[in-house]
């Protein structure tokens, strides 16, 4: 880790790590944190909700709030 490594301003995760798919940089915040915001079933963006459900089902992120793995990976 370099001293100037960018970190998520919400959780402190190192950004844009090739070994961490949730570390993608979204303007200084990681996809792990932004995904929790985008994952709101009522207000979130449907393609992102599907992506987040797949990530949960694949074990890339823990279930949170109302999003739980459900059935097939491509279900809404």
User: In terms of pTM, does the model score above 0.95?
Assistant: no
HSE (side-chain half, CA atoms, 13 Å) at 8? 21
**Domain extent at residue 54:** 1-59
Instruction: Give the chain's domain count.
Output: 1
Residue 64 lies in a domain: no
Q: Check if the beta carbon of residue 56 is closer than 8 Å to that of residue 62.
A: yes
Task: Grade residue 74 by pLDDT with cuts at 50, 70 and 90.
Answer: very low
Write phi, then psi, for 67 (nearest 5 degrees). Answer: -90, 120
72 versus 45: the higher-pLDDT residue is 45
Task: Give the model's pLDDT for residue 38.
Answer: 87
Residue 65 lies in a domain: no
All residues at 6 or more sequence positions from 39 whose CB lies less than 8 Å from its CB, including other chains: 48, 49, 52, 64, 65, 67
Helix, strand or coil, per DSSP, at residue 35: helix
Residue 28 lies in a domain: yes
Residues 54-67: what's their mean pLDDT?
85
Residue 73 lies in a domain: no
Q: Output Rg (C-alpha) for the chain, integer angstroms.
A: 13
Q: What is the pLDDT of residues 2-58, one digit of tens each?
A: 445 699 999 999 999 999 999 999 999 999 999 988 888 888 889 999 999 999 999
């Amino acid at each position: 880790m370099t001293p100037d490594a960018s970190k998520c301003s919400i959780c402190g995760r190192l950004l844009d790590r090739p070994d961490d798919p949730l570390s993608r940089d979204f303007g200084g915040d990681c996809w792990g944190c932004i995904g929790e915001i985008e994952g709101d079933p009522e207000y979130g963006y449907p393609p992102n909700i599907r992506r987040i459900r797949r990530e949960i089902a694949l074990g890339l992120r823990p279930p949170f709030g109302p999003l739980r793995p459900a059935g097939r990976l491509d279900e809404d």
